[in-house]
Amino acid sequence: MKIRPMNDRILVVRVEEEKKTAGGIIIPDTAKEKPQEGKVMAAGPGKMGEDGKRIPMELKKGDRVLFSKYAGSEIKIDGVEHIFMREDDILGILE
């Protein structure tokens, strides 16, 4: 299924985090927090400014990003969990 986000929305898939600590302790699934890091799968064209002109997005497909803990709406697409969120919910781009 193909989805194209509207305006300043992006579609992000979470990046899997390590199942072990640096010391080698295995973390059970029940104790894990959802990662706040993801990969941009699709980005909208940008939001409309007050003057009626479109403000382009700084993000693009393939960017690795950090986002706030409770950002966006979780949805499943083809069995994979994705998050729809606004560009404002992104804390930074990982380089």
- 9-55, pLDDT tens digit by residue? 999 998 876 665 566 676 665 555 666 889 999 998 988 888 989 89
Structure tokens belonging to residue 52: 């009626």
Q: What is the pLDDT of residue 2?
A: 79
Structure tokens belonging to residue 3: 């989805």
CATH architecture of 34-94: Roll (2.30)
Question: What are the structural domain ranges in the chain?
Answer: 34-94
Q: What is the DSSP string of 31-92?
A: GPPPPSEEEEEEE-S-EEPTTS-EE--S--TT-EEEE-TT-SEEEEETTEEEEEEEGGGEEE
- 54-87, pLDDT tens digit by residue? 898 888 899 999 998 888 889 888 888 889 999 8
Whole-prediction pTM value? 0.75
